[in-house]
Chain A
């Protein structure tokens, strides 16, 4: 785990920025995102709708908190938790053999597959570094 403060500072901006961006593109097209969730064939129409409304804002808020340096650890916990969920979801989707868009960054279409998992693992590493970063004096 990285404990170097300048590097952790960069991690915060990279991970927070990515989450703000991913959240914004989905919050702009909630119905498209709802359909993406529905395509995973795990939850019904209503839950897909609710998740599509709330999830992007959770990403935006957690990402913004990381960038702004407010509630850094809480935000890192939310983001790490989301990433673990996304990784499990993508693995399950691959095992089930579903050919669907991951819905990760809205309209930028990508199949739910290995590259998504690797990307999520890389982001999870950043998230866990931030979550378990040594306490600063502040």
Chain B
């Protein structure tokens, strides 16, 4: 048997073995995936008590009754082009982990509504996890995001108001 053939066979065997071990170790998770979980998001609500996903309608109610502080997790340039009136801009990039001090100084029991662009944007969830880590207990993620808000014909505000 040639040396290169032997090496290639070892590598393939390692690949097959990895699949077997992974299937055995993560069997419960794979079962959940097969049942249809994690198709929209890998976010596990049970791991972050206090974080809830809400619709645009629910967000609108909270906004109209002024029951929640809105946080826009998108880039400042997108925020300037239009955002939920009164929303504070806290850009949640993958690499900048800091939550601004004025957000941290607000009551941990207050309701926060976090959103990003919409579609499969992840920054609102990312920020929600961070806020959860900072001790906030009522964080709602408007999953349809800014696109959902504008599609519903709700009021917009422009400019760099609360950056």
Mark the stretch among B25-33, B52-60, B139-147 that contacts chain A: B25-33
B95 and A75 form a contact (CB under 8 A): no
A49 and B38 form a contact (CB under 8 A): yes
**B37 CB, nearest partner CB in chain A, Å:** 10
B10 and A77 form a contact (CB under 8 A): yes
Complex-state Cα separation, A34 to B13, whole angstroms: 24
B18 and A111 form a contact (CB under 8 A): no
**B158 CB, nearest partner CB in chain A, Å:** 25
B10 and A45 form a contact (CB under 8 A): no
B122 and A39 form a contact (CB under 8 A): yes
Kindly identify, within residues 96 to 110 of chain A, every residue whose CB is under 8 Å from any CB belonging to chain B: 99-101, 109
Kindly identify, within residues 8 to 64 of chain A, every residue whose CB is under 8 Å from any CB belonging to chain B: 27, 30-32, 34-35, 38-39, 45-46, 48-49, 53-58, 60-62
**B132 CB, nearest partner CB in chain A, Å:** 14
Say yes or no for A85: interface residue by CB 8 A criterion: no
Select from chain B the residue with minimum beta-carbon distance to A35.
B42
Query: B residues bordering A, Cβ < 8 Å?
Result: 3, 6-11, 13-15, 17-19, 21-23, 25-26, 29-30, 33, 38-40, 42-44, 93-95, 97, 122
Sort A-B residue pairs by CB-CB distance and give the 3 closest, nearest first: A74-B10, A58-B18, A71-B10
Query: A residues bordering B, Cβ < 8 Å?
Result: 27, 30-32, 34-35, 38-39, 45-46, 48-49, 53-58, 60-62, 65, 71, 73-75, 77-78, 81, 99-101, 109, 111, 131, 135
